[in-house]
Amino acid sequence: MSNITNGRLTQSEVDYYNEQGYLLYKNQLFDAEKQAELSTIFEEQWEMVGRRLNSELDTPHFRDERLLKFLLADEVLDLVEPILGPNIGLWSSHFICKEPLIGKQTPWHEDSAYWKGRLDRFDKIATVWLAIDPSNKENGCMRVIPGTHRNGFSDYEAVNENENIFSSQIKNIDESKAVYFELEPGQCSIHDSRIIHGATPNKSPNRRCGYTMRYFSTEARVLPEKNPGFKIWLARGKDVAGNPFVNV
């Protein structure tokens, strides 16, 4: 059932997402017990990598399948179904943690630029960014340039890796147009894979952690030869394009 009818999103919210490329969902995505369980898993993962931001926090569900309880949960899939349609694949997940005082800037980018060539289309890929810690301007919350999900791939330039998480950023961004995603733990945002977004550094004394859960319409084809060792799951509905899903 579409969550337009079961109450997760209204039609006006879906229309807003389609127009602007993002949506803030200020309700609790999971109940308190489930949110606490997810937070505990993150703390375990963070401890494993020495309590630092590390590439090992990418696709944590590959090595800890407890996370599939959250990634394949109706609470999340009901949220993205009105945006992506009834046939949904789990693309990826990522714990993103900015340490207090030293968390680096996330330069302006499009997620789709880093996945270029790995799928055959990018028009129906959505990221749910779930706050584990409070996320605000002071500790480097995510920010987007509304409406830029319709512009295609942008031009990039090199940046200083000592100050930035990535080595490049999109050129000539008017930061006065940025919208900041301020969220309390358990709240989330949804954004299109093509929207221009980033985050300022965390210069506050407070950690900022979120869990990104990424989904795609199975109308898109994930290209096996461009994704060696990468695993995707059929989260809901049916496989339309013939994707190499993990059998469950």
pLDDT reading at 190 higher than 90 = yes
Backbone angles phi, psi at 65, to 5 degrees: -75, -5
pLDDT attached to residue 2: 41
Fold of 3-236: Jelly Rolls (2.60.120)
- Find the mean pLDDT for residues 183-204: 96
User: What's the predicted TM-score (pTM) here?
Assistant: 0.93
Nearest CA-CA partner of 103 in 206, 201, 211: 201
The amino acid present at 226, given as its one-letter code, is K
| Band (8; pLDDT cuts 50, 70, 90) | confident
DSSP label of 239:
-
Half-sphere exposure of 233 (CA within 13 A, CB side): 20
pLDDT reading at 15 higher than 50 = yes
Residue count of the chain, please give it: 248
pLDDT reading at 5 higher than 50 = no
CA dihedral 183, 28, 89, 149 (to 10 degrees): -30
What residues does each domain of the chain span?
3-236
pLDDT reading at 129 higher than 80 = yes
Q: Which residues contact 134 (CB under 8 A, 6 or more apart)?
A: 183, 184, 185, 206, 208
- Find the mean pLDDT for residues 109-130: 95
Helices (H), the chain: 3-6, 11-20, 32-48, 68-71, 74-84, 111-114
Q: Is residue 95 within 8 Å of 131, Cβ to Cβ? A: no
- For 221-245, the pLDDT digits (tens) are 999 999 999 999 999 999 999 999 9
- For 60-114, the pLDDT digits (tens) are 999 999 999 999 999 999 999 999 999 999 999 999 998 898 878 899 999 999 8
Tokens of 14: 């879906």
Q: Is residue 188 within 8 Å of 126, Cβ to Cβ? A: no
Most confident option among 36-50, 54-68, 135-149: 135-149
pLDDT attached to residue 55: 54
Tokens of 111: 């997620």
